[in-house]
Amino acid sequence: MIANTKDRAGAHFAPEADRRSGLVCLLTGALLLLAGCSKSGVDQALDSDANGYVCLACKARFYTDRKIFPTRCPDCKKPDIEEALGFVCQADQCVMIGPRGQRSAKCEKCGNFTTALSIPREADLKSWGAVKKTEAEVNGQ
Ligand SMILES: [Zn+2]
Ligand SMILES: [Zn+2]
């Protein structure tokens, strides 16, 4: 009789425990997924094929090959240029491109301020309106 009661209790509680551990599994999976997601985001952010810049004097947007580091604006020839970075909205992954000096940007989609940064790629810079420049155009006295 005693053994029977135990068995029944065990049978009664087992599905509950299974469900709970199943939930934990799901949660862990979701966390791993999130971690994996942001990790690849960082990898991508650190790897770019172009250098983007914005001129603080005339607002010209331009970019160069990865190995060229401009010292002046190709349009107004002033040295007031700043590297262009991607400002990423964590909520919807919307990316706004702007000068490095600004701390964050207002998301065009949801209106929140961005909290993450990325390095824009050539395609991002192009759609931002940047024009590719040669070393001769962006370097010199
Ligand atoms: Zn300029
Ligand atoms: Zn947003």
Per residue in 105-128, pLDDT (tens digit) is 999 999 999 999 999 999 999 999
**Does the model's pTM come out above 0.75?**
no
Residue 38 alpha carbon to ligand 2 centre in Å: 16
Per residue in 44-101, pLDDT (tens digit) is 545 689 999 999 999 999 999 999 999 999 999 999 999 999 999 999 999 999 999 9
Residue 110 alpha carbon to ligand 1 centre in Å: 31
Supply the range of the domain harboring residue 43: 1-47
Statement to judge: residues 91 and 132 lie in one domain? yes
Statement to judge: residues 66 and 115 lie in one domain? yes
Phi, psi of 90 (to 5 degrees): -65, -30
Cα separation, 138 vs 64, in Å, equals 9
Statement to judge: residues 76 and 43 lie in one domain? no
CA of 55, nearest ligand number: 1
Statement to judge: residues 120 and 59 lie in one domain? yes
Statement to judge: residues 5 and 60 lie in one domain? no
69, HSE (Cβ side, Cα atoms, 13 Å): 0
How many domains does the chain divide into?
2
CA of 91, nearest ligand number: 2
Statement to judge: residues 31 and 60 lie in one domain? no
Instruction: Kindly indicate the confidence band of residue 130, based on its pLDDT and cuts at 50, 70 and 90.
Output: very high
Statement to judge: residues 33 and 85 lie in one domain? no
Q: Phi-psi region for residue 69, left (φ > 0), alpha (ψ -120 to 50) or beta?
A: beta
Statement to judge: residues 42 and 69 lie in one domain? no
Cα separation, 138 vs 50, in Å, equals 14
For the chain, the farthest-separated pair of C-alpha atoms sits apart, in whole angstroms, at 97
